Amino acid sequence: MYKRILVATGGSPWSDAAVAYAVALSAKVGAELRILTVLVGPMTYTMPDVMSSSELLVESIERQGQALLVQAAARAAQVGVVHSTHIKWGNVTEAILQTAAEEECDLIVVGSRLVSGFKRLMVGRTVNAVAAKAPQPVLVVKAPPAAHDDPALRRLLVATGGSPWSDAAVEHALRLARAQHLEVCLLHVTPEASSQDTLDAAADKHGVLALAEARAAAAGVPYELHLARGHVVAAILETAQRRQCDAIVLGTRGLTGWKRLMIGSISNAVTAKAPQPVLIVKRFLYA
């Protein structure tokens, strides 16, 4: 399903986890891997002594970046993953998006800390921006794969609300499940329901789960249906934990900046809080 995967590394524990996961996933699906590190340079000055110090700092930053690429490339080579390394100066988000476009990658993998509230905008601003702007699906990883560097994907949780972007997430998850022989948990959350009867009626009225079920059956993917009520983010996280899902697939409109917090982006909140990898999809990618 994925032919070329891009992973960004910056030397942090969470970007190291992203590299480990991307390498393992590439090996599992037979994809090529593009490994990118983005260097952020010091300010430039005109005074000779300061310029000399700045040049030394640039060289040091470049050596650190190259060391990160060597380390990641060695991990990929160890498991036989075809890979290439890329180093760029500049804005991290733009460099990731540009490299993904240049290399025709169909998945971007980035690492992120577990954060929430205001911190999820400030600390996770690169992840937020990449997930919002990239046309490709973006996989956000919090921890390296389990034993033997195996992603061990068995069950995906897909939250669907009937919007075009959640429909795209369902479609993408079913294609991934069919390609990798995975199970899918299809979840619909109805915030306004106050009883089981009204919950069932709300779901039937919108036909959300019925449509997702029909798609899963047509794809020949093993699935189970889950209907929940209450807070959407909490329901997604609780269901993923209770059903022991290995990853969460969500659709998003791709909002950026303050709109992402003010509107209360579900994908943003789930990505910040979920210990599992979160795959963010924004549109239909298949004809």
Which tens digit of pLDDT belongs to each residue from 231-280? 999 999 999 999 999 999 999 876 555 454 433 478 888 988 899 999 99
- Mean pLDDT, the chain cut into blocks of 10 residues (287 residues total): 94 89 93 94 51 70 91 95 95 95 96 59 68 91 69 88 88 94 93 59 66 94 92 94 95 63 66 91 64
- Tell me the sheet residues that pair with 32: 4
Contacts (Cβ under 8 Å, ≥6 apart) of 260: 121, 128, 132, 268
Is residue 259 classed as helix, strand or coil in its secondary structure? helix
| Residues comprising the chain, all counted | 287
* Sequence spans of domains, the chain: 4-141, 153-281
Q: State whether CATH 3.40.50.620 applies to domain 4-141.
A: yes
Q: How far apart are CA 85 and CA 75, in angstroms?
A: 12
Is residue 89 classed as helix, strand or coil in its secondary structure? strand
pTM of the model: 0.85
Q: How far apart are CA 89 and CA 107, in angstroms?
A: 22
Q: What is the pLDDT of residue 4?
A: 97
Q: What is the architecture of the domain spanning 153-281?
A: 3-Layer(aba) Sandwich (3.40)
Q: What is the pLDDT of residue 261?
A: 45
Q: What is the pLDDT of residue 162?
A: 82
Q: Do domains 4-141 and 153-281 have the same CATH topology?
A: yes
